[in-house]
Amino acid sequence: MRSILLVAMVGCDAGLVAPSAAPPPPPVVRDAGAKTLLGNEPGTLGPAFDGLALGQAIDQQAATAWLKQRGIEAFAYVRDGHLASINLRITSEMKQWPHSAGEDLDSYWFVPALHQHATEVVTEQGEFLQFDLEVPIDRWIGKTAGPIVPLDLGAKPLDQVENAVHLVTHSNYVDGRAHVRWTDSALAGAASATEIIVREVHTYDRDRDTVQSRDVHVELEASHEVYVAIDHRLVELFGRSHPKQRLEHTPAGAGIEHIELTIER
């Protein structure tokens, strides 16, 4: 795993770019490949995206049209009127580009100066490289609509979860547990983006009747300070002794911890 440079930014602004006038229609990028799609530094976008930046004020239709005009095969996701994510399918050329998915494809990168993350995402549809902005903790998890950790989806059937998530998702069914999983924006100060799983569990009671429960499970890599900040935020939201939540952390090397949060619905 590459070394990751961290900055303590919990609770800060997400580095959003101020709204500005829409740029003129960009020229078409012919044969956009790794050298134009990916930047010279790990986790950055290349010159093909000049004029479109993560955090930029834009609506979904305009972002999609911008990519189409430019001839870029990518998916843009807009949240709260700002560009939150760009998703590219990983090609064989990208795997050879020195600052793409690199020599180990199960990787992520953090660019502190840009408050930006890049994550390899593997789904049933293929391999993708997803670029996301980080967000402050009050927008990362909360009881209102629209946080990165969507507590309300834990109460919905999995087919409705898939329809509600606008990012690339993948699903599985192992040992009686079905789930939908996706990658979303990082918590400010974390080393990795946020992996979110809505899980459905089927068990049996004493009368052999099926009992179904669901939970929202979150995984990320971050410093111990971020773990403490999450713990404090959970107390703010649910109190100290919430019976259906579990926050755990294990060492992951180089001052980084693997953090897992589970909230049962």
- Looking only at the bridges linking them, the beta strands covering 126-133 and 169-174 are unpaired
> How far is 102 from 108, CA to CA, in rounded Å?
10
Contact 177, 200 (CB under 8 A): yes
- Least confident residue range of 111-115, 202-206, 249-253: 202-206
Helix intervals (H) in the chain: 34-37, 60-70, 92-96, 137-140, 158-164, 224-238
DSSP for residue 187? B
Cα–Cα dist 186/136, whole Å: 9
pTM of the model: 0.74
| β-bridge partners, 211 | 203
Q: What is the pLDDT of residue 42?
A: 78
* pLDDT beyond 80 at 198: yes
- Yes or no: say if 183 and 194 are a contact pair by the CB < 8 Å rule: yes
Which tens digits make up the pLDDT trace of 153-164? 777 777 777 777
CA distance between the termini of the chain:
34
pLDDT at res. 136: 93
pLDDT tens, position by position, 215-234? 888 999 999 999 999 999 99
| Region of residue 34 (left: phi > 0; alpha: psi -120 to 50; beta: else) | alpha
Please give the residue that has the higher pLDDT: either 101 or 144.
144
For residue 95, the model assigns a pLDDT of 74
